[in-house]
């Protein structure tokens, strides 16, 4: 069996990369990690077979390190979407198997506002949202339009709730801009959700799409704290509907990879069970 080598642009010490290591070894896939540190979680569990396949110590956004990684592997993938899509576009053609997910998909997903526009244009259910300039007046106008509380979000470089600010009164606008470091913003109407669910969806290079069972996620301070798998509800159709929506969302990206699709469960006025599902796509791995 021919061994393929996959290069992984890692973040936060390669915790997700570490999860790839065991299944990759069983499939005879070699991994080379690029992240900061010599003994990060992923590097601890995947020993290079040859000095040519040594892991790389460097930032996943560093163009020269990305090129070095590309020179050692057949295919590049990412642990998190906040990578340098421009450099990935440049190295894509130098790799026998390319970059997955494709740099254009990464570009769409890494800007949450563009991601929402993309999903909406494909008819997927998303919460109401608008672009907001990084000024006090624009933030206050968004709050007047959508009401309070207002969910202000950084368009880029957001994860674990770090790009979110819940505006509860108009006079917090200045503090919100400061907290979100004056990055490009957008606002979402507050969603009074009953619960949060997520589906991991896999898309192959030939376009085949499959999903894992729906799970329920419990967040603490915007960070995923507990996962109940599988998701259980009185109406088993909800879990299937969530999978259909998640698969439909991933089919809009012409790209291979494993995508996490996060959704809000909303109570339908007509029933006391969760039957309407709102969706946001947040993460790609």
Question: Could you tell me how many residues of this chain bind Mg ion (CB under 5 A)?
Answer: 2
Q: Which stretch binds ligand ADP (CB under 6 A): 13-21, 116-124, 160-168, 208-216?
A: 160-168
Nearer to ligand ADP, 24 or 261 (CB): 261
Give me the least distance between CB of 127 and Mg ion, in Å please: 13
Give me the least distance between CB of 282 and ligand ADP, in Å please: 4
Q: Which of residues 165-224 bind ligand ADP (CB under 6 A)?
A: 188, 190-191, 196, 219, 222
- By CB under 6 A, residue 160 contacts ligand ADP: yes
Give me the least distance between CB of 199 and ligand ADP, in Å please: 14
Please choose which of Mg ion, ligand ADP, none residue 31 contacts, taking the beta carbon within 5 to 8 angstroms, the exact cut-off set by kind: none
User: Measured between alpha carbons, how far is residue 263 from residues 85, 218, 219, 276 in Å?
Assistant: 26, 12, 13, 11
The answer for 171, left when phi > 0, alpha when psi is -120 to 50, beta otherwise, is alpha
Instruction: Among 92, 117, 159, 267, indicate the residue that binds ligand ADP (CB under 6 A).
Output: 159
Instruction: Among 67, 126, 282, 284, indicate the residue that binds Mg ion (CB under 5 A).
Output: 282
Instruction: Among 37, 58, 98, 161, indicate the residue that binds ligand ADP (CB under 6 A).
Output: 161
Nearer to ligand ADP, 196 or 247 (CB): 196
Question: Could you tell me how many residues of this chain bind ligand ADP (CB under 6 A)?
Answer: 17
Which residue from 235, 253, 219, 236 is spatially nearest to 119, judged by alpha carbons? 253
Q: How far apart are CA 174 and CA 225, in angstroms?
A: 30
Q: How far apart are CA 281 and CA 249, in angstroms?
A: 8
Helix (H) or strand (E) segment spanning residue 179: helix 173-179
Beta pairing partners, 131: 186
Phi, psi of 200 (to 5 degrees): -90, 130
Nearer to ligand ADP, 89 or 262 (CB): 262
User: Six-digit token pair at 46?
Assistant: 């995947």
Distance of CA 212 to the CA centre of its chain: 16
Beta pairing partners, 209: 203
Indicate the residue whose CB is closest to Mg ion: 282
Nearer to ligand ADP, 57 or 117 (CB): 117
Is residue 99 within 8 Å of residue 92, measured between CB atoms?
yes
Which string of DSSP letters, residue by residue, matches 224-267?
Answer: EEEEESS---SSTHHHHHHHHHHHHHHHTS---EEEEEEEEEEE
Give me the least distance between CB of 230 and Mg ion, in Å please: 20
Instruction: Among 68, 92, 131, 262, indicate the residue that binds ligand ADP (CB under 6 A).
Output: 262
Query: Site mask, ligand ADP, residues 110-149, x = CB under 6 A?
Result: -----------------x----------------------
Q: Can the peptide bond before residue 149 be classed as cis, meaning omega within 30 degrees of 0?
A: yes
User: Six-digit token pair at 239?
Assistant: 């879990």
Q: Which of residues 239-278 bind Mg ion (CB under 5 A)?
A: 262
Interface residues toward Mg ion, by CB under 5 A: 262, 282
Interface residues toward ligand ADP, by CB under 6 A: 127, 151, 158-161, 163-164, 188, 190-191, 196, 219, 222, 262, 280, 282
């Amino acid at each position: 069996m021919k061994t393929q080598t996959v290069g992984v642009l890692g973040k936060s010490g390669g915790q997700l990369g570490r999860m790839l290591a065991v299944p990759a070894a069983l499939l005879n896939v070699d991994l080379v990690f690029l992240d900061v540190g010599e003994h990060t979680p992923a590097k601890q569990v995947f020993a290079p077979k040859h000095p040519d396949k040594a892991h790389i110590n460097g930032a996943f956004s560093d163009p020269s390190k990305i090129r070095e990684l590309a020179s050692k592997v057949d295919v590049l993938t990412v642990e998190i979407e906040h990578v340098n899509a421009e450099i990935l576009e440049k190295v894509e053609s130098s790799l026998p198997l390319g970059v997955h997910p494709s740099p254009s998909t990464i570009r769409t997903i890494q800007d949450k506002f563009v991601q929402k526009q993309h999903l909406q244009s494909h008819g997927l259910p998303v919460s109401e949202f608008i672009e907001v300039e990084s000024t006090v007046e624009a933030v206050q106008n968004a709050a007047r339009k959508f009401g309070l509380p207002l969910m202000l979000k950084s368009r880029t470089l957001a994860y674990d709730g770090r790009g979110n600010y819940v505006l509860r009164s108009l006079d917090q606008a200045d503090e919100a801009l400061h907290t979100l470091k004056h990055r490009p913003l957008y606002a979402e109407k507050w969603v009074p959700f009953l619960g949060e669910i997520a589906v991991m969806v896999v898309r192959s290079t030939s376009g085949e799409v499959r999903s894992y069972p729906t799970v329920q996620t419990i967040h603490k301070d915007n960070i995923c704290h507990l996962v109940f798998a599988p998701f259980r509800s009185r109406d088993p159709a909800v879990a299937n509907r969530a999978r259909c929506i998640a698969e439909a969302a991933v089919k809009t990206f012409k790209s291979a990879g494993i995508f996490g699709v996060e959704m809000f469960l909303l109570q339908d006025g007509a029933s006391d069970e969760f039957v309407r599902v709102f969706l946001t796509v947040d993460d790609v791995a």
